Amino acid sequence: MHRTKVRVVEDVLDANNTIARANREDFDRHGVTVVNLMSAPGAGKTRLLERALDGLAEAGVRAAVLEGDVQGSYDADRLSLLHIPVVQLNTDGGFGGECHLDANMVRSAIPSLPLADIDLLVIENVGNLVCPAEFRVGEDARIMVCSVTEGEDKPLKYPLMFRACELVIINKIDLLEHLDFDLERLEANLDAVHPGVERVRVSARTGDGVDGIREWLVRTTERASAVA
């Protein structure tokens, strides 16, 4: 029975990768860099986007957000205040309440996205440390946000997620002094599963370190454009 299950999982991921490549071609045709933003629920993805996307137009990058949630549009409503295109994608509408975005869901949203008018699309995934890492959606890069309130052990407990990303954002550092949290130990655990992965320490609340995210987004957008 286990072998059958693994086989089904492989078929699902194969099908997903085929659709992800189709998404990738659509994004490439319009010269759009795509970043898949992942984290546990409540790690601060939306607040970080509010901070990091503000001022990105001045840096020459026109951004849009594809907002993934099981249901509701709370984050999309917040981000729409930035006056950038925001498209909501709910996984409960016909998708069975999935705990992650997959390539097919993102594909269904492409007609709603102004690809011709943007340089960067940030896809905010459903808050979850397991399944989002298994499903490519056609992105250039992946960002993983972890918060210092979640404990130092998360890279060891959810290694695929921390291995499948190009940038790790360590958020909520303004709370460090009020926690029994060892930042060195988190980074050591991070290096144990993804040696040397680029990382940035930030506080979405105070804005501390957010410049580093903005610079990374600009750099990643330029690099992807140069390759395309």
Q: Using the rule CB under 8 A, which residue among 127, 138, 139, 214 binds its own copies?
A: 127
Contact between 134 and its own copies by CB under 8 A: the answer reads: yes
Among 35, 61, 66, 129, binds its own copies (CB under 8 A): 129
What is the rounded CA–CA span in Å between residue 190 and residue 122?
23
72 torsion bin: left (phi>0), alpha (psi -120 to 50), beta (else): left
If residue 188 lies in a helix (H) or strand (E), which one and from where to where? helix 183-193
Indicate the residue among 58 and 177 with the shorter CB distance to its own copies: 177
By beta-carbon proximity to its own copies, the closer residue of 98 and 140 is 98
Rounded Cα–Cα distance for residues 74 and 69 (Å): 9
177-216 residues in contact with its own copies (CB under 8 A) are 178-180, 205
Q: Which of residues 144-173 bind its own copies (CB under 8 A)?
A: 147, 149-151, 153-154, 156-160, 172
Question: Does residue 70 bind its own copies (CB under 8 A)?
Answer: yes
Q: Which of residues 5 and 83 has its CB atom nearest to its own copies in the complex?
A: 5
| Angle between helical axes of 210-227 and 45-53 (0-180°, round to 10) | 70
Q: How far is the CB of 55 from its own copies (least distance, A)?
A: 21
> For 223, phi and psi rounded to 5 degrees?
-65, -45
CB of 1 to its own copies, least distance (A): 9
User: Cα–Cα distance between 38 and 163 in angstroms, integer?
Assistant: 12
Task: Give Cα separations from 80 to 64, 67, 73, 83, 93 (angstroms).
Answer: 10, 11, 10, 6, 21
DSSP secondary structure code for residue 179 in this structure: S
* Residue 94 contacts its own copies per CB under 8 A: yes
The residue within the footprint of its own copies, chosen from 26, 28, 31, 95 (CB under 8 A), is 95
Q: Which parts of this chain interact with its own copies (CB under 8 A)?
A: 2, 5-6, 9, 40-42, 69-72, 74, 94-99, 126-131, 134, 147, 149-151, 153-154, 156-160, 172, 174-175, 178-180, 205
